[in-house]
Amino acid sequence: MLKNFRLRVLLWVGLLLILLSLILLSWQAEQYYLTGLIALGLGYSIFALIRYVEKTNRDLARFFSAVKYNDFTLNPSPQAKGGSFAELYDGFNAVNQKFLDVRAEKEANHQFLQTLVKHIDIGILCVNSEGEVILMNQALQKLLHKSYLVKFDSLQKIDEKLWDLVKDLANGQRELLKINLQNKLLHLSIQCAEIVMQGEAVRLISFQNIQTELEAQELNAWQKLIRILTHEIMNSVAPISSLSATIQKLLEGKEELKSNNLDKLRKSIAVIERRSEGLLSFTETYRTLTRIPPPHFQEIVVDELFDEVVTLMQPALDKGLITLEKEIRGDKLGFSGDPHLLEQVLINLIKNAIDALEETTEGKIQLKAFSDAENRLCLQVVDNGPGIPADKMEEIFVPFFTTKENGSGIGLSLSRQIVRMHQGSLELQSVEGQGTNVSIWI
């Protein structure tokens, strides 16, 4: 293409030179009429050359203008097919077709995403940097009983608590909120994500009503708790009832109590006393679980927290011949929390690990701390004990459930509750025969 273009331009230039020479010759020969005719030919040739050279520029300008205004119906210079610019125009049309294909694909994706947003049962609200609502799906309209929202702060008119939470929600933050809308109680899980679209910051907020799921989980938790409470109470009440009946029979006898009956009486009363004390202790344990003091937040250095816990637990570790290793990834890892409550959590977890390692030779516990990619802090207590059976994993966090003879069954429940008060989570992983890993994410 470029060769043909150069050749044509050279031919035009050659023709112009010839015409210019002829003009000079005819002028010298005083043939002015012929000079005028040749001059007209020269002018036309110059005009044709300029038009030929600028033809590509005009086509390029039209093509870029069409791209600018999203007009992909333009088919540049079809009459030039087969000429010196055929490859250029073929390229124009190929780019045009590619734009059309991309546009069709983009429209198909847009339609798919619109349908998806329309049909999911999670409410979605999209707000730009000016506080204008640019998207509100049907699920959110149904949830809030509003057909549309123009401004983000319109949420304040719907519910003050909802507005107070949502307006300050940070990127990636997730919160739970219980509100009453249209005389209906809702438990909402609200999460925020911030994205940049075409240079503009946009907040995407999701609203999920988890009322049904919470009710199902709450019912399941209550059933487990009642089953364990019933078991514990019956273990105490049944012998008390039986012994009380025996004592009643002994006392109803008209004859004087014999020495062997007196011994039975004393033993029965002693058993009743012990079982009553056990029942009272169990009730006190329940009160402890429901009366955790609110955390007093302060800056905690992980290394210092670990040292404090290890010092407290060292006698129990030495007694069980268990080694404890610390592993802290990062310099001066720290966070905000209540050191006393979190110390209690780590003590509970280490106690559980020590109990699990009773029958294990070369028992080892690891205390680990690190930050993940999202800058969340993780504290771990890892042991190489026998692990927890799969059928017990579901019950392990239920209050008063325990696999230990003298255990109260509230250690893990209490620990999880304390961690949640710190806006964190407590996760447990265990493989039978390999050990257990308890992670505290804050």
- In angstroms, rounded to a whole number, what is the distance separating the alpha carbons of residues 407 and 303? 30
What is the pLDDT at residue 253? 58
Rg of the chain (C-alpha set): 42
Contact 26, 41 (CB under 8 A): no
Average pLDDT over residues 317-346: 87
CA distance 377 to 189: 23
Q: Quote the tokens at residue 224.
A: 């487990």
Q: Cα dist. 19→6, 22, 88, 193, 374 in Å?
A: 20, 5, 31, 73, 78
In three-state secondary structure terms, 413 is: helix
Which pTM value belongs to this model? 0.48
Residues 6 or more apart from 37 whose CB is under 8 A from it?
A: none
**Residue 151's closest CA among 126, 171, 179, 132?**
132
What is the average per-residue pLDDT within 38-63? Answer: 75
Using the predicted structure, report yes or no on whether residue 308 has a pLDDT greater than 90: no
| Alpha carbon distance 270, 273 (integer Å) | 5
- Strand-pairing partners, residue 175, are 190
For the segment 76-87, what is each residue's pLDDT rounded down to a tens digit? 554 544 455 566
- Decide: 336 and 345 in contact? Cβ < 8 Å: no
pLDDT digits (tens, 9 = 90+) for 399-408: 555 655 554 5
Q: Can you tell me the distance from the alpha carbon of 275 to that of 235, in angstroms, rounded to the nearest whole number?
A: 9
Structure tokens at 278: 């056990």
Return d(Cα 132, Cα 144) in angstroms, integer: 17
As a whole number of angstroms, the distance between CA 227 and CA 221 comes to 10
pLDDT over 50 at 426, yes or no: yes
Tokens for 225? 């708790």
Amino acid of residue 313: M
Q: What's the pLDDT at 362?
A: 85
The string of pLDDT tens digits covering residues 239-252 is 666 667 766 666 66
- Placement of tokens 């198909």 in the chain: 108
In sequence order, the 6+-apart residues with CB closer than 8 A to the CB of 372 are 378
- 350-384 residue pLDDT tens: 988 888 888 888 889 999 999 887 788 999 999 98
Cα angle: 202, vertex 208, 210; to 5 degrees = 160
**Rounded to a whole number, what is the distance in angstroms from the first to the last CA of the chain?**
67
Residue 163 clears pLDDT 60, i.e. is over it = yes
Report how far residue 383's alpha carbon sits from residue 350's, in angstroms, rounded to the nearest whole number. 9
User: Closest Cα partner for 142 from 126, 160, 119, 161?
Assistant: 119
Q: What is the pLDDT of residues 250-304, one digit of tens each?
A: 666 545 555 566 676 667 677 666 666 666 666 665 566 556 678 889 999 999 8
The arithmetic mean of pLDDT across residues 325-338, rounded, is 87
More confident residue, 162 or 228: 162
Average pLDDT, integer, range 200-223: 75
CB count, 10 Å around CB of 313?
20
> Which of 111-125, 197-211, 368-382 shows the lowest mean pLDDT across its residues?
111-125
What percentage of residues in the chain have a pLDDT greater than 90?
5
pLDDT at 80: 45
Q: Give the residue-averaged pLDDT of 25-35.
A: 78
Nearest to 174 by CA among 216, 210, 149: 210
In percent, the amount of the chain with pLDDT more than 70 equals: 69
Mean pLDDT of the chain: 77
Pairing of strands 123-128, 200-209: antiparallel
List the alpha helices (DSSP H) in 291-401. 302-319, 339-356, 390-393
Cα 187 from Cα 176, distance rounded (Å) = 7
pLDDT at 239: 66
Of 398, 400, 390, 401, the closest CA to residue 416 belongs to: 398
Cross-strand pairs, 177: 188
Token pair recorded at residue 166: 């949502």
193 pLDDT more than 80: yes
CA 328 – CA 348 distance, rounded (Å) = 20
